[in-house]
Amino acid sequence: MSMITERPATGPADVVADREAPRRGAVTARIRAYVALTKPRIVELLLISTVPTMMLAADGIPSLWLVLVVLVGGSLAAGAANALNCYIDRDIDQVMKRTKRRPLPTHTVAPRNALIFGLVLAVLSVALMAVFTNWLATGLTLGAILYYDLVYTLWLKRTTWQNTFWGGVCGSAPVLIGWAAVTGSLAPRAWGLFAVVFFWQLPHFYALAIKFKDDYARAGIPMLPVVASVRRVNLEIVVYTWLTVAASVLVWPLGMGPVYGVVALVAGGMFIAEAHRLHQRAVRGEPLKPMRLFHWSITYLTIVFAAVAVDALL
């Protein structure tokens, strides 16, 4: 005995739904592509340091409205800088395995549209900061966007192996922006935390650059691992890790409490140990596993700035 299943009748509503489904899928894919231009993971990393810094500047809980403004304005600014970076770097992104799936190399977003998108985000971010914060925070926000795209992306990244060092200025700017938004000025503790993030970026990014050394070489980008020996790169990682931890410890006597100090010492010791472990593998000619340090560096920064937030509440 056979069973015959009748196909449901298809009406006008079903036809419309069938037509709309691909359109909705295309719209969703387009939205995801534009979000990808902003590099949301980098934005998230930048904001890790901003809120604790604002709490420290306010000596407690700052205005929640101000926090929201700075988070939205900072996200828009970082997204703008990253979208413009994708536009500028579209020629090298298409030859690097790590970046060839980004929206411009895959032709998901047209270069002109990416440029307009980045500029619109930049205008919105600066306007938001100008209306709801102060001139210093606004100027720092604009300066960070311009520095990242005009100084780092267009010039430093393509011309010198010191690009990561000097490029760290814009990556550390959220700390200063958060402090300035609360106080309208910059204090020694703000500069101390700026130094922590500034030095931290070198071991963090050098580990990533080791992993994708061949990519950068193929694109003609003179990242340090491309132009220097493995031992030299790992020695610099050790040096800048020590400088990162030293900067975090030097913030302690600037008015921080014992909770912050202990966390900075313990987390810093673990960070240094991991950097030395990577260096020893390089000396012995063993597989480096640089992404282990890369991921641990993110954990380190999160822990240290969580301690900043806790210290502000005590």
* DSSP structure string for the chain: ----PPPPPP-HHHHHHHHHHHHHHHHHHHHHHHHHHT-HHHHHHHHHHHHHHHHHHHTSPPPHHHHHHHHHHHHHHHHHHHHHHHHHTHHHHTT-TTTTTSTTTTTSS-HHHHHHHHHHHHHHHHHHHHHHS-HHHHHHHHHHHHIIIIIIIIIIHHH-TTHHHHHHHHHHHHHHHHHHHHHSS--HHHHHHHHHHHHHHHHHHHHHHHHTHHHHHHHT---HHHHS-HHHHHHHHHHHHHHHHHHHHHHGGGT--HHHHHHHHHHHHHHHHHHHHHHHHHHTT----HHHHHHHHHHHHHHHHHHHHHHHH-
According to the model, what pLDDT value does residue 15 have?
46
pTM assigned to the model? 0.88
pLDDT means over runs of 10, the chain (314 residues): 45 51 70 86 80 94 94 93 94 87 90 95 96 96 95 92 91 94 95 96 93 90 91 94 97 93 96 94 84 93 95 90
